[in-house]
Amino acid sequence: MLDKKVADLINDQINKEFYSAYLYLEFSAWFEDQGLDGFANWYRVQAQEERDHAMLMFQYLQNNSVRPVLEAVAKPEPAPADRMEVLRAGLKHEQYVTGLIHAIYDAAYTVKDFRTMQFLDWFVKEQGEEEKNAEDLIKKMELYGSDPKGLYALNSELAGRVYAAPSLTL
Domain ranges of the chain: 4-159
Counting residues of the chain whose pLDDT is more than 90, the rounded percentage is 94
**119 CB contacts (<8 Å, ≥6 apart)?**
60, 170
- pLDDT for residue 24: 98
Counting residues of the chain whose pLDDT is more than 70, the rounded percentage is 98
With 70 as the cut, is the pLDDT of residue 15 above it?
Answer: yes
Specify whether the CB–CB gap between 123 and 117 falls below 8 A.
no
- pLDDT for residue 164: 85
- pLDDT for residue 168: 66
**149 CB contacts (<8 Å, ≥6 apart)?**
none
With 80 as the cut, is the pLDDT of residue 101 above it?
Answer: yes
When pLDDT is averaged across residues 23-41 and rounded to a whole number, the result is: 97
With 80 as the cut, is the pLDDT of residue 170 above it?
Answer: no
Cα Rg, the chain, nearest whole Å: 17
- Report the CATH number of the 4-159 domain: 1.20.1260.10
